[in-house]
Amino acid sequence: MQLAQRLAEYLAEAARPFDWATHNCCHFAAGWVRLIEGLDAMPLVPTPDAMQAWRLIASYGGLADAITQELGRAPIAPAEARLGDVVLMPLMSDRASVGISNGRVSMFLADDGSVLALPTLQAVHAWRIGAA
C-alpha cells in the first residue's frame, strides 16, 4: 500500500475526541510512527490533563527535545519534510502541536477531535519517518 493511502486511512481513523490521557497530539503522531516504523515513540507516562502533559514535556526540556529523544533522531528543517514525516507547529507563544506532514500541508489533531491542515512551512521542526 502506498504511503499516501496509508496516511489517508490513518487520518480517517485518528479523527476522534481529543483526550489528554489517550488521544492528544503526541499520541496522534506516535501512532503514525508506530504504524510506519514499529517504534513506540510515546512513553508510557500518565498525562491525565494538560498540566501533567506540560510537566512531562518540561522534563525533557521542551516538546522538540522530547520528540528528538523519543524518536532517536535529530530534527530537520520543515522545508525538507516529506510525506509522512513528523512536524512540530507553534500554536501560541507557549503552545505547540505535533503533526504529520502531508507534503505542503501538515495534519494536526484539533481540540474537537477533528484533523486540520496547516502549511508545513510554518512548522519549526520536522523529523524524518520511514525511509532513512
Three-state SS for 13-78 is HHCCCCECCCECHHHHHHHHHHHHHCCCCCCCCCCCCHHHHHHHHHHHCCHHHHHHHHHCCCCECH
pLDDT tens digits, 31-63: 999 999 998 887 666 788 989 988 999 999 999
Q: Residues near 78 by Cβ (< 8 Å), separated by ≥ 6?
A: 87, 120, 121, 122, 123, 124, 125, 126
Break the chain into its structural domains and give their ranges. 3-127
Can you give the pLDDT of all 132 residues of the chain as single tens digits?
Answer: 799 999 999 999 988 888 998 899 999 999 999 999 998 887 666 788 989 988 999 999 999 999 999 999 999 999 999 999 999 999 876 789 999 999 999 999 988 888 999 999 999 999 999 965
Q: Report the CATH fold assignment for 3-127.
A: endopeptidase fold (from Nostoc punctiforme) (3.90.1720)
DSSP classification of residue 80: G
Nearest one of 32, 14, 35, 33 to 23, comparing CA atoms: 14
